Amino acid sequence: MSDYKYKILWLDDDFEPVSSETNIDENLTRKSFQDDVELASDYGIEVVGVSNYERFLDEVKNLHSYQAVVFDLKGMEKSNEISDMVMPEAVETIMKNRELPIFVYSANDQSEKFEITLHKIKKEGRCFNKGLSPEPLYEKILKVLDDNYHYYEGHMDCLHLFTENYLNAANKDKMDELLKMYEAQEKSYAPYNNMRHILEDMLKTLVDVGLIDEALCKQGFDPKMKFLTEKVNYQRDRNGNIVTKDGKPQLDFDNPVVSFEICPREIKYVLHYLGDMTNRFSHFLETEPEYLKQGESVLEYNILIQQSVFSAFFVAMKWFYSYMNKHITR
C-alpha cells in the first residue's frame, strides 16, 4: 500500500536524465534538482515529473489523480524548441481543466517576464527559489493540501482511490460531498445516492480487473454485488463431481466464488448491507413510519441509520483500496 499522502504533477526540464552527452554544469544542475525531488517522499508527497509541454499535456487527462501542480519557469520545450511561454500556457491549461493549487520552484522566480503569471502565486506564498532548500516548498504544499482536504482526515483511502485511478474521476465530487457532510455531521443529509454511484463504480472496476465475472459487465448493480457477496460454488465429491440431493445441486456455503481470503465474511456482510441501504433504502424514506412512538421523530432513526451506513461505506472503501493496492498493478 502506498505511503504517500498526496500526489503532485511537476513540470521542469531538469527531469531530463543525467547523460554523458550533456555538459557537466547541466548534469550537475539536473542531479541537484532530482535530489531535491527525491526529498518529497519524506513529506508523503508522490511526484510525477514531466520535462516538456507535450508530456505535460499527456498528463492533463489524468489531472483528477493529482492534488497540486509545480512549475519551473524557463528552459522548457514546446515542439522541440525552448519557449518562455510553456509555463504560462501550462497554467492556463490547468485552470481550464481543473482547479488545482499551483506552486513555482524556479531559479527565475524574480523574472519580470513572468510577473503577471506569478502575481497571484507569489501573493499566496507559493513561489520558491530553486537555488535554496526545497523543504519550504514541501512544507507549503502539505499545509495547502491539508487545508484543502481536511475533511478526508482519517479516511485518506477515499481520496487515494482517485489518486490511483481505481475510481472514475466523474465521482470525485460525490466523494468530496460525502466526506464534507460526514465531517460536518450534517444530520439531515441523505448520503445514499452518492454512495450508490461510487459503489457502482467500484463494482465496475472489480469487473475490469477480473474479480467479478466479466459476463456481468453490462448487468446492473444487484447482480455484481451478489456475485461479490453471496455467490458460492457447488459442493463436489472426491472425484470433483457436483453433489446433488433430490436432483438439485448442493451449494457449498463455505466456498464462495470470491474467496473469504480475498473478501472475508465480515466484509461481505458489510457490502451486502451497504448495497441494500444505498440501492433500496434511499428510495423508501418515510416521513411518518408506523413504528414511531408518540413524541418520536423519524429523524432520530435516520441519524442513527446514516451513521451506520457511513461506517459501512468507509469499511467498503478501505477494503477496496487495500485489495487494489495488494493485487492489482494498473
- Rg of the chain's alpha carbons, rounded to an integer? 25
Alpha helices, DSSP H, located in the chain: 24-38, 53-60, 86-97, 115-123, 135-148, 156-163, 172-184, 192-208, 221-229, 265-279, 298-327
pLDDT digits over 160-184, tens only?
999 999 999 889 999 999 999 999 9
262 lies in some domain: yes
Q: How many domains does the chain have?
A: 2
Classify residue 64 by its DSSP letter: G
The parent domain of residue 101 ranges over 6-148
248 lies in some domain: yes
Residues 76 and 224 in one domain: no
pLDDT of residue 1: 39
DSSP string, 194-208: HHHHHHHHHHHHHHH
Last residue of a domain, one of 148, 169, 186: 148
State how far the Cα of 330 lies from the Cα of 327, in Å rounded to an integer.
10
pLDDT of residue 265: 95
Residues 169 and 141 in one domain: no
116 lies in some domain: yes
Residues in Cβ contact with 120 at an 8 Å cutoff, skipping those fewer than 6 apart: none
State how far the Cα of 217 lies from the Cα of 328, in Å rounded to an integer.
19
pLDDT of residue 21: 62
Report in angstroms the alpha-carbon separations of 56 from 14, 109, 124, 166, 244: 14, 20, 24, 22, 61
Residues in Cβ contact with 100 at an 8 Å cutoff, skipping those fewer than 6 apart: 63, 66, 67, 68, 69, 94
1 lies in some domain: no
Q: What number of CA atoms fall less than 13 Å from residue 102's CA on the CB side? A: 23
46 lies in some domain: yes
pLDDT digits over 220-229, tens only?
899 999 999 9
193 lies in some domain: yes
Report in angstroms the alpha-carbon separations of 76 from 115, 129, 134, 256: 18, 17, 20, 55
Residues 281 and 182 in one domain: yes
pTM for this model (two decimals):
0.83
Other beta carbons within 10 Å of 185: 10
Residues 193 and 209 in one domain: yes
The series of mean pLDDT values per 10 residues for the chain, 330 residues long, is 82 82 75 92 95 90 91 81 83 86 87 78 91 93 96 95 92 96 92 95 95 90 93 79 80 84 96 90 61 76 90 98 84
How many residues are given for the chain?
330
121 lies in some domain: yes
Last residue of a domain, one of 118, 148, 178: 148
241 lies in some domain: yes
Residues 140 and 162 in one domain: no
Q: CATH number of the domain that 32 lies in?
A: 3.40.50.2300
pLDDT of residue 44: 94
Residues 179 and 250 in one domain: yes
Q: Which three cell numbers stand for residue 97?
A: 481543466
Last residue of a domain, one of 88, 123, 148: 148
